[in-house]
Every structure is written in C-alpha cells, then in structure tokens.
Structure 1
Amino acid sequence: MAKTYDTYKDSGIAWIGNIPSEWEIKKLGNFYTQRNEKVSDKDFSPLSVTMQGILPQLETAAKTNDGDNRKLVRVGDFAINSRSDRRGSCGISPYDGSVSLINTVLCPKDKMNAKFYNWLFHTTMFADEYYKWGHGIVDDLWTTRWSEMKNISVVEPPLSEQQAIATYLDEKCGEIDSLISLQEEMISELQAYKQSVITEAVSKGLDPNVPMKDSGVEWIGMIPEAWDIKRIKFIANIWGRIGFRGYKGEDLNKEGIGAITLSPSNMKSFYMDYSSVTYLSWEKYNESPEIMIQNGDILFVKTGSSYGKACYVENLPREATINPQILRIVPKNNQKFLCYFLQTPYIKFETECGVVGGTIPTISQEKIRNMYVISPPISEQQAIASYLDEKTSQIDSLIALKQEKITELKDYKKSIIYEYVTGKKKV
C-alpha cells in the first residue's frame, strides 16, 4: 500500500490541491532563469522539442531558411514549446544545440532538483495551467511567454524529497515504459503476421497442394495454375476528383452541412473511420456523381505521405465523396479480394516504382490503372475474402487488446507522476 504524508494543507492552487504540510508553494521563476541567447544552427546543431524530450532535429520538423535566428540550449537546460498546439512538448536537454524561437529555454537555479520539476512539467495538469497563462487570437496559436510562465505557482518540497521523488519516478516510469514497449513490439509482430496471412492467401490461395505456374510478373512470382494476372483497369473502374470538379475552402465545413468528404486520415488499416470528418456542400457533391462513394467501394491514396494506402468502405453514415488525394475503385467482381490484394507488398512495390515528386509524392491515376494484380476465379476470390475477414478479425482483436493495455499503462504512468510530484503519495 502506498505511503502518504502525516498531515496536509491546502495549496491554494486548484490543479495542485492539498500538499504535505512541510511543502511550500512558490512561483516558477524562483527555480529558473531564462536563456534567451540568439545563435545560428551552423554553430549549434538544431534540436527538436518534442513530447519525448529534446532530440536532434527530426526529419519531419518544419524547416526554416532563417537558421541564424535560433535560441541557444545547453546540456541540462529545460526547453518547452510555447505554442498550445505543441502541448506537452518539453524536456531537459542532453545536448548543446539550438531550438526555434517558439521555444522557451530555461536554466535551473541552485538548490532545486531539475529532474523533479521535469516530471512536474510533464503532468497534464501543468500543461493545462501553462496554457491558461498564455495569450493569442485563436486556440491553436495560443502562446505562453516566459514573462507569464515565471508567475505560475508550483510546489517546492524539501530538496531531499525532490531528489527521492525524481529517482523513484525515473525507475518506476522506466519500468512502465518497458512494458509499453513490450506491448508495442507484440503489436508490430501481430501486424507483420496479419500482413503475411493476407499476402499468402491472395497470392497462393487456400489450398497448399494446388499446382503452381509462373505469373510472368517478376515481383509476383508463382501463382496457382488456374489464376490469371490482369491490369487493374480490366477488372475495376477508377475515378478521382479532377479539373473543374475540384473545390475551394469555402465549399467545406465542419457543421455537418452537405456530404462527408473522406480523406486519407479516415483510412485506418483495412476499414474506414468516420469519427472525424469534413463536409462538402451539396452543390459540389452533386457535380461529381462518379465519386459518390458507396458501401463496397475501395479507396486508394494516390497523393501525399500515405500514398498506396487502400481501404474498404462499409457502414457509411451518410452520403460521401472524396478529396483530391484519393481514388474511388469499383471492382467488377469481388471488391474485398481486390482490397486485400491492394494491401500486399506487391502493390507497395508497384506504387513506389510509379511515384514521382519529392515534397508531395504522387502516383498518377493512369499508372494505378495499369498496375498488375492477381485475379483468381470469382468463387476463390469470395472464399479467400471470407477466410481473411475471419482471420484478420481475430488478429485485430488481439491488437486491440494490446492497444488497450498500452492506454491503461499510459494512464497509470500519468497518475503516478501527478500523485508523487504533488505529494498525494510519499516515496
């Protein structure tokens, strides 16, 4: 059973609540000074301030040509992103380097344990409080400056307790992170297994003893003797949003007026997710009947970072269309079999061979129409799709259990950090 302190008092701070009687409340400025020295990324390597801490600049980070206008960071400094759309991005830097100007860089003062406050600053409650002190015009551009941040009230336990709590949380959260990593590894293994099951079924069939033949396509190899290789254009119709039937920002809304406009973000694994959608005006929707999406359609991403992703449409909540990144594929026979085949490494290989453009990778509709796919007899397509429906559902259920466990572990980690840094529990 966890220990608690003998006596408590009201901190006077809503997000902190009661604290041990011997703890104090002080302004954050008592523990840090601001480092506001401008430097160049030519002299100090660029760093990224992330939810995982301070890291060498990520490839995905937004780059600027103004590399001479950055902030210096030294080993042991604490950096936090001042923008509300980067909530939770902060940490102690293990590097000398430079960060973008939207970050606040702080030097810890004497007689405080920087690791203790690092744990405190990673609580959800502190993140909420931090942005309450900010200012801005719209929510996602809300900014908290050091002049505001330094006036936030935080706890001050005795230094020995700060050190004990930091050491305990380092160890305990390290154990939790290891458990989370184990669950993530198991999910990766299940996803790889699911991929192998799909690939084996759609390329070799369900009968391991069936006679095989050379497909004539190098990256596909051997296929069952009774199967064919065809180009997608001969077994399916493909449409996309083109030309004058495009739309502008004013045609879209979040108020539920019009038809759902599906984007790559709605495409999760094999099936669609309609939990977050944008709506297109009825006028624009009715201009393009060929991309009015129906249950049983296949959606295929042709543009952007998730190019090559395919999803099967079912359980549409209302009329729907697609944005310009997506193609609508309507097979002439079994939709699900083709959708499963579009999930295989064969299609990934063909797609990557056909992609052009560095900043925004794109594969043309014509190249997709001319992709090679395996085409078994219809009865086998149906049998394989039914088999994969059952098999992948079983694997997805196992993955969901692992993801649920990860959520529980992350919630537990958040709770113990908060409980110890605010004195609700004692080391």
Structure 2
Amino acid sequence: MKLKPYGSYSESGVEWIGETPSHWKIYRNKEIFKERGTLSSTGSEKLLTVSHITGVTLRSEKNVNMFMAESHEGYKLCKKGDLIVNTMWAWMGALGTAREDGICSPAYGVYEPRNGIPYDHRYFDYLYRTKNAVAEMTRYSKGIVSSRLRLYPKEFFQIFTALPTEHEQNKICNHIEKLSTLVDKKIALLKKKKELYLELIDAIISERILKGIDDNTDFDDSGVEWIGPKPKNWKVVRVKDIAKSVNGGAFKESLSPSGIPIVKIQQLTKNTSATEFCDVNSNKIKKENKIKKGDLLFSWSTLIMPFVYAGPDAVLNQHIFKIICNKDVNPNWLYFYLRHAVERLSIFSHGSTMQHILKSDFDNLEVVMPDVEMQIEIADSLNADIKKIELIIDNIDKQIKELVLFKDSVTADAVLGKVDLSEESVI
C-alpha cells in the first residue's frame, strides 16, 4: 500500500523539522523533558549503555572489553521511557529511550518526560536518531573539534521538536516496528546467504590448496596430522623453507604527509589510507621494511590473516610480517595456503586481550607444496572462481545496504510527518 502525505502542512519555522502536518505542535525540549537527577545508592540495578548503532541496551548484552568500574554506586537512575543521551557522542546519534528501568553512566544525560506531553517513548527513539535530528544535536553541541563535542542539558533543552498526538505516535511506531520486522528478516536471510558463500570460498580454497585441480591424482600420507593425505608428487616443507618472514619496524611517526606512509594492521584493506607518516628518510629505511602493491603480508598481532597489499608504497608497522617468497614459490599460491592455514595458526596464538603468534610458530607452519607450475594453476583457478562468488557477495551486500537505507528512509518520513499513518495501514 502506497503511503500518502497528510492533507495539509504548515511551515514549522525550524530548519531541521521543515514543514509539518498542520495539527502537529512545536515544543522546545525543555517543555517535553526535565532532567532526572536521581542517583543509585547501591549500584545494583541493571546497567544500561548507549550506542549510535543499537540505542539504549543492557551492558550485559554487549561484548565490551573496556574497563568496568568496581562499583556503580552513584550512577544515574533511569526509568522505562526515559531518553538517555551519551553526552560525548550525541553528535554521532548515541542516544535512545530506555525499554526498562536501570542505571547508566554519570556522564550520560537522563531526561524524563513531563506530564501532559504526548509521549510514546518509541517515537522519540526513532525521531532523535534520524539524520536530521542528529545534525541538530550536533549543531547545539559544544566543542572545538567534532571528536570533542558535548551536548549538555542546557543546549539540549533549547532544541525544538514537532510532535503529533500520542495516538499518532503509537500508530507511527507500530508501523515502523512492523516494517522493521519484515526488513530485518530479509536482511537476516541475506546475511545467512552471504555466510554460505563465504563458507563455499573457504571450502574451495581448502580443497584445491591440499588436493590440487586434477581429479585423478594419487595420494600418500603427508605425515602431518592436520594436513592428512597429500598428492604423491607434492613436498612437505615449512614456511621458513620456502619464504622469509620479516617483521615491520618501529618507526617514529610524523603527521607530515611529506613522509612515506606507515601501514598498520587496521589499514590492511583494499582501500588502504595511511594517516601517519615515517619521518625517517626513505633511503635510510631497510629494503625489507618497505612494501609496495602486490606484496604478501601477514598480521601476526590481532588479526592473524594474510593480505595482498593494495595500497601505495609504504613502510611496514612492526606487528606485520612481510613475506618474501623463494624463486620457486608463487606468492598468490602462498597467500591462499596461508588463508587456509589461519585456523591452524590460531592454535598457537598467545595473549588474552590481543591474540598474537610468535615468529617461530609462523616459520614452522607445515606446508604441502606442489611445483611452481601447479602453484600458478591452483592460484589462477582460485582467483577466477572466487571472483565470481565475490560478485555474488557484493550484490548481496548491495541489497542489504538498500534495505537498511529503505528502512531508515521510511522511518524518517514517518516520524517527520511526511506520510500519514494516523489510520491503520498495511505494509
């Protein structure tokens, strides 16, 4: 069913709101909310946290490794329906309404609705997380740079909000929830489909990297339990026998873009963008610490994943190996072999908060290796078949993105009065 606009609109006089249905009322936030200043005397209540992605949720539902206070005594009390704003991250949309009673950080702003105001807390959760509302929160935030902006109560109370009746708020929220349920189901199915294609890629890599591409190959025992049988004419070696792994350097950083970029773990992506630069003259840097497009890298700290570098010429951070292959080793084939062997390498990982592997464990990884001609055939066949699957995955990602944008767009249109949901509607 195509949704229609309201019968008549009036100019709100507020830039972020624009035109509103004629019967909607404009309020300052100080007319809608007041601060809830009550503090917990025990800290035993459920701890709530605020995210720009999920809104207000229980801290226990989050996988967070950040420091946790020993006691939550003195934390702010929150009641179901209260608006909770992460003062430091309001400019990113880190706010929402509480779905249950609890406590939250003293650094958050907690606002309870005033009596007599049309208030379905779900409506405010949707409204204040729209792009228009977040932009307005940002405009009223105080600070010199975006990362230091703070939205304090005094400024929050100055913001204008347009409100429909509580009956309409309820209808709007019910519509959004029905729509979200349908869209989220579609997204979940697409994500599952993507997972299956990613599993297919892993299966194809494992099959070819251990057995080759000839169905008539004879096998014998590799002598390595985790590898199992191998093609008869393939050799069992170790990484150190076929390649040299060189750790990156601990380079002093400079913010001047005139230097050579420093590549760190988080920048090992297709669209590498280094933000820090080495202040050492390029001629004084060891050749082994320099990398160029196409070099094979392996992050031994945190990620434990091989990468074919795709960025500009750079120097390598000390948490990453550059892998220099012998002349009888094809780098593309070794990339796929290491990708297959990541699970095996993870067995040797050390550390609790930051997993890493030792250079000795990496260098001693067993490799079952065909001749270089077969390596090239295997790598080429994998590149060709994986590219086809990745095109399918890219299309799935595109569909997911479109569904998210659709849901966000419909939500914004609903809470900003662009469509009339005052009567029952069919999605």
> TM-score by structure 2 length?
0.90
Is 2:171 the partner of 1:169? no
2:85 aligned with 1:80: yes
Shift of the 180–286 alpha-carbon distance from structure 1 to 2, 3 Å rule, reads farther
Q: 1:94 aligns with which of 79, 95, 99?
A: 99
> SS at the partner of 1:14?
coil
One-letter code aligned to 2:271 = D
Contact 1:260/1:320 (<8 A) preserved: yes
Specify the code of the residue in structure 1 equivalent to 2:344: F
Indicate whether 1:55 and 2:57 are aligned. Answer: yes
In structure 2, what is the equivalent of residue 44 of structure 1? 45
Residue equivalent to 1:297 = 295
- For residues 61 and 24 of structure 1, what CA distance do their matches in structure 2 show? 44
Give the AA of the match of 1:103: Y
- 1:234-273 aligned within 5 A: 234-242=241-249, 246-248=250-252, 251-253=253-255, 256-268=257-269, 272-273=270-271
The CA deviation string for residues 384-422 of structure 1, in whole angstroms up to 9 with x for no partner, is 000011011111111111111111111111211111111
**Aligned residue for 1:16?**
17
Of 105-114 and 36-45, more deviation after overlay is shown by 36-45
Deviation of 1:61 (Å): 4.9
Deviations 1:24-66 (A, max 9, x none): 1111232233223333785123332122132232232522435
Gap runs ≥5 in structure 2: 422-427
Distance 1:212 1:56, change over 3 A: farther
Percent identity of the aligned residues?
25
Shift of 1:204: 1.5
- Superposed CA deviations along residues 358-386 of structure 1, whole A, max 9, x for unmatched, are 23222122221111222111111100000
Q: CA deviation at 1:256?
A: 3.1
Residue in structure 2 matched with residue 29 of structure 1 by the alignment: 30
Decide which moves more: 131-140 or 11-20: 131-140
2:71 match: 67
- The answer to whether the aligner puts 1:208 opposite 2:212 as a matched pair is no
One-letter identity of the residue aligned with 1:70: Y
Greater Cα offset, 415-424 or 356-365: 356-365
Following TM superposition, by how much is the alpha carbon of 1:285 offset from its aligned partner in structure 2, in angstroms? 7.4
Counting only pairs closer than 5 Å after superposition, residues 1-400 of structure 1 correspond to structure 2 as 1-39=2-40, 42-50=43-51, 51-57=53-59, 58-65=62-69, 67-68=71-72, 69-84=74-89, 87-110=92-115, 111-242=118-249, 246-248=250-252, 251-253=253-255, 256-268=257-269, 272-275=270-273, 277-283=275-281, 286-304=284-302, 306=303, 308-314=304-310, 316-317=311-312, 319-332=313-326, 333-344=329-340, 346-350=341-345, 352-400=346-394
Among 390, 406, 409, the alignment partner of 1:412 is 406
- What is the alpha-carbon distance in structure 2 between the residues aligned to residue 5 and residue 407 of structure 1? 29
Q: What is the TM-score normalised by the length of structure 1?
A: 0.90
SS of 2:368's equivalent in the other structure is: strand
**What is the distance in 1 between the residues matched to 2:11 and 2:46?**
45
Q: Which amino acid aligns with 1:182?
A: L
Q: How far 1:91 moved relative to its partner?
A: 2.6
- Unmatched segments (≥5 aa) in structure 1: none
- Partners in 1 of 2:159 and 2:38 — Cα distance? 23
Deviations 1:80-106 (A, max 9, x none): 222238722233323433322332222
8 A contact 1:247–1:284 mirrored in 2: no
Q: 1: distance between equivalents of 2:213 and 2:41? A: 61
State the distance in 2 between where 1:45 and 1:160 align: 31
SS state at 1:373 partner: strand
Per the alignment, in what secondary structure is the counterpart of residue 96 of structure 2? strand
Contact 2:305 2:342 in 1 (8 A): no
The count of aligned residue pairs is 412
Please tell me whether the aligned partners of residues 268 and 309 of structure 2 are also in contact (alpha carbons under 8 angstroms). no
One-letter amino acid of the structure 2 residue matched with residue 298 of structure 1: L
Deviations 1:335-355 (A, max 9, x none): 0111011111x33222x2222
Q: Give the RMSD, CA atoms, in angstroms.
A: 2.1
| 207-216 or 417-426, which deviates more | 207-216
2:221 touches 2:230 (CA, 8 Å); kept in 1? yes
Which one-letter code corresponds to 1:288 in the other structure?
K
Contact kept, 8 Å, 1:300 with 1:328, in 2: the verdict is yes
Distance in 2 of aligned mates of 1:40 and 1:320 = 55
Displacement, 1:230? 1.3
Secondary structure of 1:343 counterpart: helix
Deviations along 1:239-271, one digit per CA (max 9) or x if unpaired, are: 1124xxx223xx232x63222222222334xxx
Distance 1:181-1:7 versus aligned 2 partners, 3 A rule: same
